[in-house]
Chains A and B, each alone.
Chain A
Amino acid sequence: MSALAPVFEPLTILIAEDSAADLLLLSTIVRRQGHQVLTASNGAQAVDLFARERPQLVLMDALMPVMDGFEAARRIKQLAGEALVPIIFLTSLRQSEALAQCLDAGGDDFLPKPYNPLILAAKINAMDRLRRLQATVLQQRDLIAKHHDYLLHEQRVAKAVFDKVAHSGCINAAPNIRYLQSPYALFNGDLLLAAYTPAGDMHVLLGDFTGHGLPAAVGAMPLAEVFYGMTAKGYGLTQILREMNAKLKRILPVDMFCCATLLCLSTQRRAVEVWNGGMPEGYVHEVATGKRTPLISRHLPLGVLSAQAFDDRTEVWPMALGDRVFLLSDGVLDTADANEQLFGAERLQQVFAANREPDRLFEDIEQALAAFRGEARDDVSMLEITLQAGQSMRATGPLYADSGQSCPLDWSMSFEFRAETLKRYNPLPYLLQLLLEIHGLREQSGALYSVMAELYSNALEHGVLGLDSRLKRDAEGFAQYYRLRNERLVQLSSGYVRVHVQVEPTATGGRMTLRIEDSGPGFDVEQVLARPLDVDRLSGRGLDLVRQLSSDVRWSDGGRSVCVEFCWEALA
């Protein structure tokens, strides 16, 4: 360390001594050692001189007229502030109390008279080392403080940007979401995102990056952008997951990844679709029966696997109105007590079991955690979403970006999606973007998307894949339905879904006719439509919804072809 290096630097040394002979002798010794000397003949003079010249070291006689050395030492120490100005007392005193008094007054050492030049030089050098050490410490402290302020400032700015990105969804606005997040420093490794799809479903992501702070926030930004952008355009979970994984894999270093649970909560379908990669089990809570279905982590976290190896399979669970989904971060389970015992999933289950008021679940968990450990964890996130009726459908993006002069009004197009495409591609976001070129339709984008999504999935699932919607009567059949859907989709080798769009101007505005055909066996339209409307059954709601949302619905070709119309008024 530089403070200990044997570099000789001449010092300015103040000598306060009332005996002129001693002063002369001492000055000569010190000068001979290469230092500059300032002299004072009493304490008051010494203090004045110190204030003016700021010498680096003081040799101080204890007993002097006007002001003694003890008082002068006190004042000089005060003037010196944080810097170390070593004071060596020169004394003929021999009693221990007197020597102790020298140190109590702020002296750093003492030198007995008569002076020994060798000892004096050694003491000056030793004190100089201490002085320089102190100066280095102070300088480093100030540097650290400066860097710290700078870092805090940068983090504040970054957090402001981060908050805009991460909280631009509906996480705070949605009435059916409750969450609790404890912050770690300025950022949280945990990421919580929620947004509505054009059809009024809700996408929610709870993620946990390796690490905290800036590194986590850096990864969170692109993840949030993909989540919001693709959700608003109507992409499904699997496409969003693929995009997120590919993006993180590309930009993150090998040892960074993001554990995440992504879910799609659909009031319309009374179901939740879930993908969990690396997060602790969340739960679907059936309020009526009290049953909790675990949402088990089946996948590696996002950003680990290549696009080819990535597994986007999701699970679908039925939900009734009022049922809840509960998600948590590992901060809850990893909370440790004084003996490094972890809180763990079993204790969490006990809290669930003891919980009497569902609305107080978070408080119950927090209390249990507090009772368990007695100190706050850095990264606890909990989230609960309730399935509620009547989530409104939102229009995506700004309604009118331009005057509408260039909007297409008289055209038609047809698509045929065949087996290989049906397996892996969801054409709906693309079709929606295309149709929203028609300005008159933008106000109805939510309804339009819902109807398209419903008719497309009917064509695919009931038509091409031949699945019977009556399977979805109960929870067990529901799970089986989605298992079969996956199986048959994987094996699909033939079949098609055709989409025809016809847009025409009318006297008052325009009309869009959408016809969807499938290669399936068709169905008995009259019989299905005659079924009683039952809002709480798991199947059959789709058609009711379609009939509510579009001006006209007609089936033909034995149920294999369905046609809906959307009309709009000319824009003012």
Chain B
Amino acid sequence: MSVESEVSLDGKKLTIAIKGRFDFGSHQAFRDAYERFYKVPQVYIVDLKETTYMDSSALGMLLLLRDHAGGDNSEVRIINSSPDVRKILAISNFDKLFDIH
């Protein structure tokens, strides 16, 4: 498991990429990925391209990010999710809260 984050040059977009298992073990790293930036980006992107597994505590972490990003006014995109991960997001109907690609 590893969490990597990158801010776009204009500082408006923060991309967080999770590799391997996205579960409670990534809790601290995931929070650090968005809390350590003191400038607040407009768009958050969670890249799940290399995420192999995701459990309900990962869903909880996404909710935390959404809350941090401004709740109902936030813009959080989830991209590159595999069919398995997409299934988990679909069962929980997270497409009603997040922009899922």
Docked CA distance A255–B65 (Å) = 9
Q: Which of A210, A255, A342 has the most CB of B within 10 A?
A: A255
Residues in B neighbouring A299, C-beta threshold 8 A: 93
Docked CA distance A279–B63 (Å) = 17
Please encode chain A, from 479 to 505, with 1 for each CB lying within 8 Å of some chain B CB and 0 for all others.
000000000000000000000000000
Residues in A neighbouring B55, C-beta threshold 8 A: 334
A327 to chain B, nearest CB (A): 14
B60 within 8 A of A: yes
A33 to chain B, nearest CB (A): 47
Please encode chain B, from 39 to 59, with 1 for each CB lying within 8 Å of some chain A CB and 0 for all others.
000000000000011011101
A46 within 8 A of B: no
A278 within 8 A of B: yes
Interface size on A, residues (CB 8 A): 23
Q: Which of B32-87 contact A (CB under 8 A)?
A: 52-53, 55-57, 59-61, 63-64, 67, 72, 84
A300-B96, A340-B52 known; A255 vs B91 contact (CB < 8 Å) = no
B85 to chain A, nearest CB (A): 11
B55 — nearest CB in chain A belongs to which residue?
A: A334
**B59 A210 Cβ-Cβ under 8 A:** yes
Contact-size category for B: 20 to 34
Docked CA distance A210–B23 (Å) = 11
**A300 B93 Cβ-Cβ under 8 A:** yes
A254 within 8 A of B: yes
Q: Which of A189-216 contact B (CB under 8 A)?
A: 208, 210-211
Residues in A neighbouring B61, C-beta threshold 8 A: 255
A148 within 8 A of B: no
**A254 B93 Cβ-Cβ under 8 A:** no
**A278 B92 Cβ-Cβ under 8 A:** yes
Contact residue among B57, B67, B72, B94 (Cβ-Cβ distance under 8 Å from A254): B67
Residues in A neighbouring B57, C-beta threshold 8 A: 210-211, 255
Docked CA distance A298–B93 (Å) = 7
B3 within 8 A of A: no
**B91 A279 Cβ-Cβ under 8 A:** yes
Please encode chain A, from 252 to 265, with 1 for each CB lying within 8 Å of some chain B CB and 0 for all others.
00111101000000
Residues in A neighbouring B64, C-beta threshold 8 A: 254-255
**A254 B92 Cβ-Cβ under 8 A:** no
Residues in A neighbouring B94, C-beta threshold 8 A: 300
B29 within 8 A of A: no
Docked CA distance A298–B90 (Å) = 9
B100 within 8 A of A: no
A512 within 8 A of B: no
A211-B57, A342-B84 known; A280 vs B91 contact (CB < 8 Å) = yes
Docked CA distance A299–B96 (Å) = 9
**B56 A340 Cβ-Cβ under 8 A:** no
Docked CA distance A441–B59 (Å) = 49
Docked CA distance A345–B72 (Å) = 33
Residues in B neighbouring A12, C-beta threshold 8 A: none
B91 — nearest CB in chain A belongs to which residue?
A: A297
B44 to chain A, nearest CB (A): 15
Docked CA distance A330–B96 (Å) = 21
Docked CA distance A298–B96 (Å) = 10
**B56 A254 Cβ-Cβ under 8 A:** no
- Total of A-B residue pairs, C-beta within 8 Å: 53
B66 — nearest CB in chain A belongs to which residue?
A: A254
Residues in A neighbouring B24, C-beta threshold 8 A: 211
A298 — nearest CB in chain B belongs to which residue?
A: B93
Q: Which of B56, B59, B92 has the most CB of A within 10 A?
A: B56
Docked CA distance A180–B96 (Å) = 32
Residues in A neighbouring B56, C-beta threshold 8 A: 208, 210-211, 259, 330
Docked CA distance A255–B64 (Å) = 6
**B60 A255 Cβ-Cβ under 8 A:** yes
Docked CA distance A301–B92 (Å) = 6
B90 — nearest CB in chain A belongs to which residue?
A: A297
A107 within 8 A of B: no
Q: Which of B57, B92, B97 has the most CB of A within 10 A?
A: B92
Q: Which of A442-492 contact B (CB under 8 A)?
A: none
**B91 A300 Cβ-Cβ under 8 A:** no
A304 within 8 A of B: yes
Residues in B neighbouring A259, C-beta threshold 8 A: 56, 91-92
**A340 B53 Cβ-Cβ under 8 A:** yes
Docked CA distance A254–B60 (Å) = 7
Residues in B neighbouring A300, C-beta threshold 8 A: 92-94, 96-97
**A277 B52 Cβ-Cβ under 8 A:** no
**A255 B63 Cβ-Cβ under 8 A:** yes
**A210 B60 Cβ-Cβ under 8 A:** yes
**A297 B63 Cβ-Cβ under 8 A:** no
Residues in A neighbouring B60, C-beta threshold 8 A: 210-211, 254-257
Docked CA distance A240–B90 (Å) = 24
Residues in B neighbouring A208, C-beta threshold 8 A: 56
Residues in B neighbouring A304, C-beta threshold 8 A: 63, 97
**B67 A278 Cβ-Cβ under 8 A:** no
B95 — nearest CB in chain A belongs to which residue?
A: A300
Residues in B neighbouring A280, C-beta threshold 8 A: 91
**B93 A257 Cβ-Cβ under 8 A:** no
Residues in B neighbouring A278, C-beta threshold 8 A: 91-93
A/B interface sample: 17 pairs, CB < 8 A: A208-B56, A210-B59, A211-B57, A211-B60, A254-B60, A254-B63, A254-B64, A255-B60, A257-B59, A257-B60, A278-B91, A278-B92, A297-B90, A300-B92, A300-B97, A330-B56, A340-B52
Q: B: which residues have CB within 8 A of A?
A: 24, 52-53, 55-57, 59-61, 63-64, 67, 72, 84, 90-94, 96-97
Instruction: Beyond the given A211-B56, A255-B60, please list 16 additional residue pairs across the A-B interface where CB-CB is below 8 A.
Output: A208-B56, A210-B60, A211-B24, A211-B60, A255-B64, A259-B92, A277-B93, A278-B91, A278-B93, A297-B91, A299-B93, A300-B94, A300-B96, A304-B63, A304-B97, A330-B91
Query: Closest 10 CB pairs between A and B?
Result: A255-B60, A278-B92, A210-B56, A254-B67, A255-B64, A210-B60, A300-B93, A297-B91, A254-B64, A254-B63
